[in-house]
Structure 1
Amino acid sequence: MRLYACLGWLAVLLLSGCTDPYLPDIIKTPPSYLVVDGFINIQGVSTVKLTQAYAIASAKAPPVEAKATVYIEEDGGPRYVLREAPVGTYTSAALALNPTKKYRLHLNTQAGKEYASDYVPAKLTPPIDNLSWRVDNAELNILVDAHDATNATRYYRWEFEETWEIRPAYSTSLEYINHAMKARAVPFPSACWGTEGSKTVQIDKTTSLTQDVVSNHRLRVLPANTERLFTRYSILARQLALTKEEYAYWDLLRKNTESIGTLFDPQPAQLTGNVHCLSNPAEPVLGFVGAHSVMEKRLFIARADLPRTMSVLSGYEKCVPPDFIDLYPKIFMPPSPAEIMEIAFSQPDYLPVGEVYGSANDVVGYDAAPRDCVDCRTRGSAVKPSFW
C-alpha cells in the first residue's frame, strides 16, 4: 500500500496533459500529508500503518507517523484501542465486532491533529472456493474462485503473500580466518525462504452477473524463468469483501498505478479516500478504511508438480562453474600459497567452497564463489516458516 500511496500522491499532483519530462518542486518536496494504510478487521486483528506522503523520486522509506493515538469506533458504541508496535504500525487485539454495525478509524497525532474515516458498514467476506494454478504459454497463472450464495458481496479485493524455498548453489565446510584455511565453525544454512507481498491492486466485481460468482480471477502470473518455482513455492491469498465506494477507490488506484505511461493512456485522476482531517478539513488525506472480515487460503506448488515442458531457473546460473584459486600458478615468481589465499579470501564476500587435490593427493587449490552463491541469507531468511 505504501507504493500505492506514493503513486497516488503523484496522481494528485500531476497536471493533466503535461508532456514535459520533469518533476516540479512540489513533487520533489511534497507537503506532509497523512497516509493511512489498513482496514478494520471485524473478525480478527486490525493493523494500520501511518506514514507521510513523500517524494516520488525518493529512495528512502516513507517517514512514519509515530506516537499517535489510534482506535476503532463503533457507531454509537465502544472504542477499541490500537497499540503501536513497531513504530508507525498500530495493531488491535483480536476482535469479534458486530457485523450489523458501522465502524470508523479515529486517530490523533503527536502534533495534535485529529483524523477520522467515514463510518462504513461491516462486510462479511465469503470463503475462497478454490485457489489453483495452470500453465499457459510458459507462464504459471494463480487463479482464485469465490461466490456468495446470498448475492451480498459483489465487490472483491485480494492480497497475497508469496513464500519460496531457496537452496544455495554451494555448501562449504571451510572458512578463511586469521590468515589460515580452517574447518568452518558455524555452517551456512542449507535452505532459506524468500517472502514478498502483493504489489498490484487485485479487484473484481460481479455486478453484471445474475449470480455473485468470481471464476478464475488471475491473482498472480509467474514467468518460466523465475527462481521462485525452482524448489517449492507457496502463496497465501487473502480475500476481502468491499463496499461499492471502497471498490471505486481501489479501482481508481489501480488505474492510476497501472495506466501512467504514454500520452495516450488515461490521465491520472485525483484519489479521494474516506479519511479526513477534522482539525483542518481542507487538508488532503490519503487512504480508505473499510470494515470487513478476511478469508484466507494457501496453495503449495512443488517443482515436481510442474509440467516437464516448463523449465525454471535456480537463480544461481551465474554461480556455475565456481572459480578456481590455483595455489601454484605457472607464472614467473608466483606468490606463495599463503599469499594467494590472503589475496583471494581476505574479503568476507568471497568464500572457499571446496579443496582441489592434485595427483599426489595434496591440496593444489580451492574452488571459490561469491558469498551470494553460498549463503542463502543474502536472498531470504534462514528461519523456516511455521507452515512449511
Structure 2
Amino acid sequence: MGCFALLALLAGCTDAYMPDVIGTPPGYLVVDGFLNAQGVTTIRLSRAFAVASKAAAPVETRAAVTIEDNTGARLLLAETSTKGTYASASQQLNLNRQYRLRIITLAGKEYASAFVPVKITPAVDNLTWRINGNGLNFYVSAHDAANATQYYRWETDETWEIRPPYAPVVEYVTAARAIRPIAVPYPTVCYGNMRSNAVLIDKTTALTQDVVSDFPVKQLLPASERLYTRYSILVQQHALTKDEYAYWELLKKNTESIGTLFDPQPAQLTGNVRCLTSPDEVVLGFVGAHSVSEKRLFISRTDLPAGWPRISGYENCVPPDTVFLKPKGMVPPPKPEEVLLTAFGPQNMLPIEEIYIAGFLGGYTTKPRDCVDCRTRGAATRPSFW
C-alpha cells in the first residue's frame, strides 16, 4: 500500500475527540463587569458551560449584588429586565477609598472581589480612521499628563443602517387565508449593532510619557455590509491597574494566541473574585474600579472610495420569487386560498406585491421574512445618537 493510500485510510478512521472534562459543564461563576467610578455600574453573572454545548451560557438570577467600600458602606445593584444582569444607580466613587463587589447567590453561596483602588480614565484624545490596502482602519489616541494611567483597555460598539430591498404593499392574513393591503408597513430601515468581544489592551510602562498613539481598534473590509449607507463606531476607554491589565493580557493570550503546538498553551485564568463560602471553588472574572471615557464617529458611504463594492447583505434576496394563483400543469388547479395557505401559511414567506396577467390577478412576488423584514437583522428603533 502506497504512503498516500495509507494516509487516506488513516484519515478515514479518524473520529472527533471531545474529552470528558470539556463535555461536562463545570458550573464556575463568571463575573463580567467593573465598578464605574462615575456612572452606572453593570455586572453580568453567568455560569461556565461545556464547550460542546449549543445553548447560551446559563445566567445567575436573583442574586444579592452590592458594591462595598473599605469602610463598610454598601450600594445595592438591582437585577434588570435582562436576567443575570445587575445595575446600580448612577454614582460617584470616593477616590480615597477602595471598593469591591460582593455577591450572594440564590443558593446561599457568597463571593467577593478583592478591594481595589479607584482610577479615573483620561479622555480619548482622538478617534480617527484611515484607508489602506486592508480596508477601513480605526485608531485611538490618548495620554495622561500625570503618568498615572499606563494601562489601557478599549471596547468598541458598532452601529449601522440596514435597508431591505423590498417594501411590501400586501400581507397574508392567516385567519382569512387571504391577501390584504398591508395594515402596518414593515420598516424601511433598521439598525444593526455589534459590541466587540476582542481584547484591546496597551500599556505605556516602557515609554518616557504616558501616551498612546494610533492604537488600532477596528478594521472593516471594503466589502463589509456595515458600510452600505451609514456607519458609526463608539470607542470606550478604561484605565486599568497593573493586576487588572495582567488579567486581560492573559485572557488575550488564551483566546487569540492558540494555533499550533508551538504557541503558548492556555494558562489558568481566574481573576480577583473569590468564593467566601468554598475557598477552593474556581471563580472567573476581574472586577476593577474606574471611570470610562468614550468617543464616537460616523462614516457615510460618500466618505469612502467610489470603487469599493457596495454590499447590502441582501444580494441573495434579489430577484423576488413568484407565487402563481393557478400553477401551470396542475389539473385540476388548486383553489387560490389553498395556494396562498401553502405559500404563506406554514412557511416563513411573505408576499410583496401583486402580479397581473392579461389584466387579471395572477399571483404575488414573495421572499422569506429575512429578505423583507429588516427586524430579523437589527432593531427598527432609531438610536438616540443617530
TM-score, normalised on structure 1? 0.89
Q: Distance in 1 between matches of 2:287 and 2:17?
A: 33
2:187 maps to which residue?
189
Q: Distance in 2 between matches of 1:342 and 1:369?
A: 15
Say whether 1:23 aligns with 2:21: no
1:11 maps to which residue?
none
Distance 1:341 1:258, change over 3 A: same
- 1:268 partner SS: coil
Distance 1:324 1:334, change over 3 A: farther
Q: Distance in 2 between matches of 1:38 and 1:238?
A: 14
User: Which of 82, 92, 111 is the matching residue for 2:77?
Assistant: 82
In the TM superposition, residue 270 of structure 1 has moved relative to its aligned partner by 1.0
Distance 1:175 1:124, change over 3 A: same
In the TM superposition, residue 181 of structure 1 has moved relative to its aligned partner by 2.3
Once the two structures are superposed, the pairs formed by residues 151-170 of structure 1 within 5 Å of their partners are: 151-170=147-166
Comparing 136-145 with 374-383, greater Cα deviation is found at: 136-145
Say whether 1:98 aligns with 2:97: no
1:194-237: CA deviation from partner (whole Å, max 9, x where unpaired): 11211111111111211111111111111222211112111111
1:206 maps to which residue?
204
- Is the contact made by 1:146 and 1:214 (CA closer than 8 Å) also made in structure 2? yes
- 1:250 partner SS: helix
Once the two structures are superposed, the pairs formed by residues 1-388 of structure 1 within 5 Å of their partners are: 22-86=17-81, 87-177=83-173, 178-327=176-325, 331=329, 333=331, 335-336=333-334, 338=336, 339-358=338-357, 360-388=358-386
1:355-381: CA deviation from partner (whole Å, max 9, x where unpaired): 2334x4433332221111111111111
- 1:387 partner SS: coil
1:321-354: CA deviation from partner (whole Å, max 9, x where unpaired): 1113344555474625715444333345212212
Q: Distance in 2 between matches of 1:270 and 1:321?
A: 52
Q: Distance in 1 between matches of 2:332 and 2:316?
A: 29
In the TM superposition, residue 77 of structure 1 has moved relative to its aligned partner by 4.7
What residue identity is the alignment partner of 1:154? Q
Work out the number of aligned pairs and report it. 368
- Is the contact made by 1:328 and 1:334 (CA closer than 8 Å) also made in structure 2? no
- Is the contact made by 1:46 and 1:92 (CA closer than 8 Å) also made in structure 2? yes
- 1:344 partner SS: helix
Comparing 60-69 with 190-199, greater Cα deviation is found at: 60-69
Q: Distance in 2 between matches of 1:315 and 1:207?
A: 43
Comparing 90-99 with 324-333, greater Cα deviation is found at: 324-333
1:280-314: CA deviation from partner (whole Å, max 9, x where unpaired): 22111111010000111111111121111222310
What residue identity is the alignment partner of 1:231? T
- 1:199 partner SS: coil
In the TM superposition, residue 120 of structure 1 has moved relative to its aligned partner by 1.0
RMSD (Å), alpha carbons: 1.9
In the TM superposition, residue 162 of structure 1 has moved relative to its aligned partner by 1.3
Comparing 327-336 with 86-95, greater Cα deviation is found at: 327-336
Distance 1:376 1:282, change over 3 A: same
- 1:246 partner SS: helix
Q: Distance in 1 between matches of 2:332 and 2:217?
A: 59
In the TM superposition, residue 101 of structure 1 has moved relative to its aligned partner by 2.0
- Structure 2: stretches of 5+ with no match in the other structure: 1-14
Percent identity between matched residues is 59
Q: Distance in 2 between matches of 1:330 and 1:67?
A: 60
Q: Distance in 1 between matches of 2:372 and 2:243?
A: 50
Q: Distance in 2 between matches of 1:207 and 1:57?
A: 40
Distance 1:364 1:109, change over 3 A: closer
What residue identity is the alignment partner of 1:263? L
- 2:102 partner SS: strand
What residue identity is the alignment partner of 1:126? P
- Structure 1: stretches of 5+ with no match in the other structure: 1-19
Q: Distance in 2 between matches of 1:95 and 1:193?
A: 31
- Is the contact made by 2:223 and 2:308 (CA closer than 8 Å) also made in structure 1? no
What residue identity is the alignment partner of 1:29? T
Q: Distance in 2 between matches of 1:334 and 1:137?
A: 61
Distance 1:282 1:330, change over 3 A: closer
